[in-house]
Amino acid sequence: MTSLKQYKEQYINQNIQFVLIDQEGTILESDQTFIELNLGDYIYELHPFFATYSAFLDISDETMTYNCVHLEFNEKEFITDVKMMKKGKLVLLVIYNLTGHYNSYQQIAQARNESIINSELVVLKNLELEERERFKNAFIRNFSHELRNPLTSIISITKLLEGSKLNNEQSQMVDFLKESNTNLKLLLDDIMSISMIASGKLQLRNKIFSLISLLELIDFTYRSKTNGGAIRFKMDYDKKIPEFIEGDRLRVFQVLTNLLDNALKFTEEGTITLNVSLNQKRANKVSLRFEVSDTGVGIPSEKTNAIFESFIQLESEGKKEGAGLGLSIVKGLVGLMGSEVHVKSELGKGTTFYFDITLTYALDLASKPIDRAKKKNPDISKLKADKKYKVLLVEDDERTQMVLFKTLMDTNFFYIDLVNDGALVFETVINNSYDIILMDVDLPNVSGDQITKLIREFPFKNIKKIPIIGVTANVFEESIEDYLSLGMNAVVTKPFDFDELLNTMVKFLK
Amino acid sequence: MQKSKKIVILGHFGVGKTSLIRRFVEDSFSDKYKVTIGVHITKKVVEVNADESVSLIIWDLEGTDEVQMIRQAYLLGTHGVVFVFDVSRPSTFQNLNRDLEIVAQKTPDTPLIVVGNKKDLVINDELQILLKDNGIKADYLTSAKTGDSVNEMFTHLATLLNDLS
């Protein structure tokens, strides 16, 4: 029968080796438990670790322990604890073979360190992606901002051209020009929308509006667009849905028209359907499902996620119009409305996009305002026919100057003074008597918003009360709110429609 | 005559200490990360001039994010220290100057070389800005992967230690 002592020798003593060396490092004795050492050899020549014995001899400590030392002998590695003890003029080395124990620890340390490093790398990667996204959005914002000035000029000059004497061919060319301008403006608006959504700067402006009127407008628009073609447009809505709801009419319209335009782009023939159904009504909340279906080419299943990315277009029989922003805007806007857009599609049969949104609806219908499309034509009848209004145009862009100058003069209602430097505005305002100021914001020397602030702080009423209309390429809502808070009466963003500007002016002229 | 000099390689885990040694000693590199536990000791003889060479005994210490915790036994008899950080991981150099102060206290009067490793992972201009912003003065910027400046760094230290003795 095996004795306890034998077990001890088998399991413990096999892993502890005793070695005795002298002060020169010569091996005097070794019990050869797991490392074969030749007596008479220098221990530091067998492994560089043992060279440290000489440093041990130089200190006063009688014992020194080294944990987790990797020792290689005859191509075999041991992970050991090594204890050095001074024994008179000799040094006793006790080497504990803890390879198994330390290998387990190594696995734990490996998992822990990898996890920490991976977490750090994920954080760094996210920071990098955020930085890239910020840079991209800033670039897009600046780029589209810079495009607005020339586009304003192009639109305005086209308007002037349209009003001049043209032959048929020239009229047709102007029509093409107008359509291109509209497309370019819409594209710029799309780019701006996606940039604002991505940077979190787009905020919904919820107001009560007639959902039914909005749907009728869409119905009319898309029936007109598909009239006489191979595609039929069909709109249907549940009669139980409330007429008035509280939401951002413009953005609901943008989502639905983007989905419908997308359907038109990828459908050769068949039907495009907009369906609005009622999920449920509870208290003054209503959940609605909006669904746009087409009988178009369909989307491969592996691409149903990619279509919502910015600037992604699916190639389909040469149809590659647009910048690939429409669905990305839809995703962003529906997300802002607290929902998610879904897609079902079958190649060659068609696609359905749908989303559910919960909205507040007006219980007291009669008392709620109806948000109808505003009349666009300027109501110049409000202006005094026998009066010439004196306008100060503050604008440094020569093309915009020329266009505004000419279009305002053509109405026969205005005298116009022009200033193109922010530093000269205040003096001009004090020395003259203006009925209204059209104020660009990005001006040399002093910005338009700061001039406005100065004018509003002026002590004389006839100066401080002059209506000021900001004319700017900066379309950010927060910037516009800043301009208004500094004293501008209204802000018109470039590229603007001249009728829109005139309408705004009429509002403030006496 | 050949002198023997012990150097210890310190720094946070995953900064590439073992890879720098492997590049220097074996002229090889592996992308696979294997955590060092405890200490690995290797030796390489470096010629410092036509007549002299130094046997560098290199102690590759387990990486730690708390320099104060380094076992004093490992540092016994150290002639030179290399402190390595990873230029692509800010956590390894955010407290570098504090770490270096602790190392200097633990190994007084010992030459110390500061090394920013993994320079192949970052753009040089950005790296210079990063170092400046963090108030870091690295003696060497290395890449164990490409071998860039690795031999120069170890040879410089060997020469320095030889000159001091």
The residue range of the domain holding A26 is 16-97
* Cβ distance of B63 and A54 shorter than 8 Å: no
A66, A101, A131: which to substitute to probe chain B, counting the most B Cβ within 10 Å?
A66
Q: How far is A103 from chain B (nearest CA, A)?
A: 9
Q: Has residue A115 been placed in a domain?
A: no
Out of A47, A69, A121, whose CB is closest to B39? A69
Which has more confidence, A310 or B95? B95
User: Which residues of chain B have a CB within 8 Å of the CB of A70?
Assistant: 38-41
Q: For residue A444, what are the CA distances in angstroms to A13, A152, A396, A432, A469?
A: 89, 19, 8, 21, 18
Q: Which of A211, A344, A329, A217 is closest to A278 using CA atoms?
A: A211
Q: Which residue has the tokens 């000489």?
A: A54
* Cβ distance of A64 and B73 shorter than 8 Å: yes
A199 CB neighbour count, 10 Å cutoff: 16
Q: Which of A361, A355, A367, A340 is closest to A282 using CA atoms?
A: A361
With beta carbons less than 8 A apart as the criterion, state whether A484 and A140 touch: no
* Cβ distance of A68 and B37 shorter than 8 Å: yes
Q: Has residue A400 been placed in a domain?
A: yes
The whole-number pLDDT of residue A368 equals 46
Counting the structural domains of chain A, the total is 4
Mean pLDDT by 10 residues, chain A (510 residues): 68 84 95 91 94 92 94 91 94 94 92 92 89 80 77 82 87 84 78 77 80 86 84 92 87 90 90 94 89 91 75 51 74 92 91 93 53 52 82 85 80 88 86 92 85 89 91 75 90 77 88
* Cβ distance of A52 and B37 shorter than 8 Å: no
Q: How far is B127 from chain A (nearest CA, A)?
A: 15
The whole-number pLDDT of residue A147 equals 81
CATH of the domain at B53: 3.40.50.300
The whole-number pLDDT of residue A318 equals 45
* Cβ distance of B4 and A51 shorter than 8 Å: yes
Percent of chain B surpassing pLDDT 90: 76
Residue where a domain terminates, one of A172, A198, A224: A198
Which pair of structure tokens corresponds to residue A119?
Answer: 């977490």
Counting the structural domains of chain B, the total is 1
Q: Which of A267, A335, A328 is closest to A297 using CA atoms?
A: A267
Do both A414 and A356 map to the same domain?
no
Please give the residue of chain B at the shortest CA–CA distance from A69: B39
Do both A391 and A501 map to the same domain?
yes
The whole-number pLDDT of residue A366 equals 36
Indicate the SS3 state at residue A472: strand
Which amino acid appears at position B139 of this protein?
A: D
Q: Has residue A223 been placed in a domain?
A: yes
* Cβ distance of A105 and B37 shorter than 8 Å: yes
The residue range of the domain holding B108 is 2-164
CATH of the domain at A171: 1.10.287.130
Q: Which residue has the tokens 């594209």?
A: A187
* Cβ distance of B14 and A113 shorter than 8 Å: yes
Do both A156 and A175 map to the same domain?
yes
Write a three-state SS string for B21-61.
HHHHHHCCCCCCCCCCCCEEEEEEEEECCCCCEEEEEEEEE
Q: pLDDT category, B108, cuts 50, 70, 90?
A: very high
With beta carbons less than 8 A apart as the criterion, state whether A453 and A488 touch: no
Which pair of structure tokens corresponds to residue A210?
Answer: 């007639």
Q: Is B32 on the interface with A (CB under 8 A)?
A: no
Q: Has residue A116 been placed in a domain?
A: no
Q: Could you report the per-residue pLDDT of B6-61, keeping only the tens digit for each?
A: 999 999 999 999 999 999 999 999 988 899 999 999 999 999 988 899 999 999 99
Do both A169 and A269 map to the same domain?
no
Phi, psi dihedral angles at B103 (to 5 degrees): -60, -40
Q: For residue B12, what are the CA distances in angstroms to A104, A117, A149, A399, B74?
A: 21, 11, 54, 61, 16
Residue where a domain terminates, one of A314, A339, A367: A367
Do both A193 and A211 map to the same domain?
no
Q: How far is A117 from chain B (nearest CA, A)?
A: 8
